[in-house]
Amino acid sequence: MSTSVNTFEQFLAISSFAQLCQSRWPDACAALRELGALDHATPEPLAQYLNTNTPDDCAHALRRLRQLACLRIAWRDISGQASFQQSCDELSQLADHCQQLALAQALTTVEEKFGALSSLDDKQTPPSLCVLAMGKLGSQELNFSSDIDVLFVYSGAGQTQGRRKRSSSEYFTKVVQEWIGLLDRVNEYGQCYRVDTRLRPFGSAGALCWSADALEHYYQREGRDWERFAWLRARPVAGDLALGHALIEQLRPFVFRRYLDYGLFEGVRRIRNEIEQESLRKGRQQHLKLGPGGIREVEFLVQSHQILRGGQVPSLRQGNTLKSLTACQREGLMSATEAEQLSQAYVALRTAENRLQMLDDQQRHELPQTPEEQARLATLMQQSWPQFMAQLAQHQQQVQQQFSALFQEPQNQPEPLNLNFEDDNDNHNIAQLQALGFDGERAWHLLRAQHNKLRSFDLSHEAWQRVHAFRPRLLQVISEHQSDISLLDLCLDLLTTVARRSAYLALLLEKPLALQRMVDLFQHSALVAQWVQYQPSLLDDLIHPTEQLPKREHIQQQLKRRQRSQDDDEKRQESLARTQHSVRLQIAIAALTQNAETIPVQRSLSVLAECIVEHILQHLIEGPGEACGFCVIAYGTLGAAEMHYESDLDLVFLYEPQRMDERQATRLARRIIHWL
């Protein structure tokens, strides 16, 4: 068999799906080939032909539309006329269009049967329904033969006016059932799309259709980590799109937390382990999606960065994998090499997945095992089978390496302590602390007082689990610093501060080196301990700290990167403060770990202040400040480049009357002070 496909006839000879289309719709295939519609760069010629020859039966029309459109997409993809991204875009747009047509028909059918649905309040608009796409359709990366993962939401209380009145919930459930049948039911023309509705709350046991208020209530109270990942890719595709967009906006705090939640890493590891066990049980080692180094691992890598930091970095709040990879690189979350490796691997894996499904229009992810099937797939990949497998193995290995580096289990630290806070007999606890080198009675007094304080906080079960896991590790690390009681007191103060936001404890449990660095810094500087207690998000800077004093270019890059994706002044001001605190900590780490001399440290702190003032001025005047007719002059410690960690800024503002008047200059000066 040839290892290339150069003509449509060769494609027909290899693809059972193409053969089925040819036999099922012979006249349409002949007409479309004669029109050149199968090779055209846009789907318009095909759409025009289908619109003039539309069957009356909606289910028939939908299956004909989807199969002929997919025939064009497959042929253009395999013949090299369309890129991977173009094929994904068109497959997703086709699915959107089919769902919209099906919903229009379903609404008409149900209204004819049960009457129109009207609001219980005459002043309100009638209740409406939205179809939300999840998974790859939500991120506009649909497979050639993928299920469509959907969730249904409606707004407004209402009822029909017919003989037997139906509520909004009953009415829209009928609509959804009709809609699913139009797309999912298999008839003599095959199937349009397999529909998966299990991503809704409580899965198959839950209601098929949910009100927007009920959905929001569920996710805010009971939503789990995997549901955060699912909603990361949600997108309204049919019906009341405004309702869908509003719900996604309301659920943004559920998906993207304002703080760094390293607890999700344990959830990803658990999900990945379950997938690995299932793959081993079912022999899925050559599974493009779920196998080692497969598509799911790329998605976990990218989505974990998004979920972890999307609350602070809006540019990460998107579903598309390749676009998200670009955002991760731009935001400094991975190197250019890492992002490029993942992008190439993802495109290679997804291309192979699509070509595999183009053979028979089946939702297949496992590589074929027979020589005949391998030859068919290799031909569509325009490679020999050994070449294809060698390249695939290289991509999978690179994905595995990055996945293991990010999600590796934290090194198990010895946990010799079994402190019992409920037992009135303190002797056993004191003896354990003394064995670690502590003044047993004083250490136990601090721990017991802090534990009692935490009990008054009404912590969640998850928070208590993290507290119980964290304390022994903390005591072990402090014991390596001569079991310093004052250091223990500082660290317990931090534990009290972050207990309600236990994601910070998850960070320190996930990253033992960050815990070690935190304790080191706290021992050397009570001021640093105060900073971290005031702003626990600084713990993230201890994961990969720089031990060199930051240069001006580095500070400017951080400011630009963190400010770039903020969409209003309040968020920019918060981001600016976070950046100042972060760089100040970097300077302190370099000073403490490298015993940096006073003058270079003072200069670095002064450069940080200069960069921030310059950044604020450029933002407020919307351009470079060199020729704006306004100047900020520093006096005191900043003027002398001798800033300390807690220095004030002594500033004087000058303006040039030829360029701006006093009112403009005063307003600008006040805004600068406000930002600072």
Separation in Å, CA 524 to CA 470, 519, 529, 547:
22, 9, 9, 15
pLDDT for the residue numbered 483:
82
Record the tokens describing residue 530, joined without a space.
């105060």
Run of H or E residues at 220 = helix 212-222
Residue type, 126: P
Per residue in 222-240, pLDDT (tens digit) is 888 889 999 999 999 999 9
Taking the C-alpha atoms of residue 259 and residue 311, their distance in angstroms, rounded to an integer, is 7
Taking the C-alpha atoms of residue 532 and residue 494, their distance in angstroms, rounded to an integer, is 8
Please report how many Cα atoms fall inside a 13 Å half-sphere around the Cα of residue 68, on the Cβ side. Answer: 31
Cβ atoms 498, 504 nearer than 8 A? yes
Per residue in 628-651, pLDDT (tens digit) is 889 999 999 999 999 999 999 999
Q: Which residue has the tokens 């999700």?
A: 264
Taking the C-alpha atoms of residue 158 and residue 154, their distance in angstroms, rounded to an integer, is 11
Taking the C-alpha atoms of residue 144 and residue 63, their distance in angstroms, rounded to an integer, is 15
Per residue in 332-377, pLDDT (tens digit) is 899 999 999 999 999 999 999 999 999 999 999 999 999 999 999 9
Cβ atoms 195, 147 nearer than 8 A? yes
Taking the C-alpha atoms of residue 335 and residue 348, their distance in angstroms, rounded to an integer, is 20
Q: First CA to last CA across the chain, in angstroms?
A: 71
**Concatenated DSSP letters for 250-282?**
HTHHHHS-SS--THHHHHHHHHHHHHHHHHHHH
Task: Mark out the alpha helices in 127-200 (DSSP H runs).
Answer: 135-138, 168-184
pLDDT for the residue numbered 111:
92
Cβ atoms 66, 194 nearer than 8 A? no
The CA angle 554-557-563, to the nearest 5 degrees, is 140
The CA angle 600-603-606, to the nearest 5 degrees, is 155
Closest CA to 142 of 96, 108, 208, 188: 96
Record the tokens describing residue 273, joined without a space.
């382990």
Taking the C-alpha atoms of residue 642 and residue 605, their distance in angstroms, rounded to an integer, is 8
C-alpha dihedral sign at 415, 421, 423, 427: positive
Closest CA to 540 of 257, 254, 233: 257
Q: Which residue has the tokens 């250019």?
A: 336
Task: Return the exposure string of 426-459: e unless at least 16 CB atoms fall within 10 Å of the residue's CB, then b.
Answer: eeebbebbeebebebeebbebbeebbeebeeeeb
Task: Mark out the alpha helices in 361-456 (DSSP H runs).
Answer: 371-380, 385-407, 427-435, 440-455
Task: Return the exposure string of 153-162: e unless at least 16 CB atoms fall within 10 Å of the residue's CB, then b.
Answer: bbbbebbbee
Closest CA to 192 of 101, 318, 319, 111: 101
Taking the C-alpha atoms of residue 328 and residue 304, their distance in angstroms, rounded to an integer, is 11
Which residues of the chain are under the pLDDT cut of 70? 1-3, 122-123, 278-285, 410-416, 565, 625
Q: Which residues contact 53 (CB under 8 A, 6 or more apart)?
A: 28
- Residue 94 has a CB neighbour count (10 Å cut-off) of 19
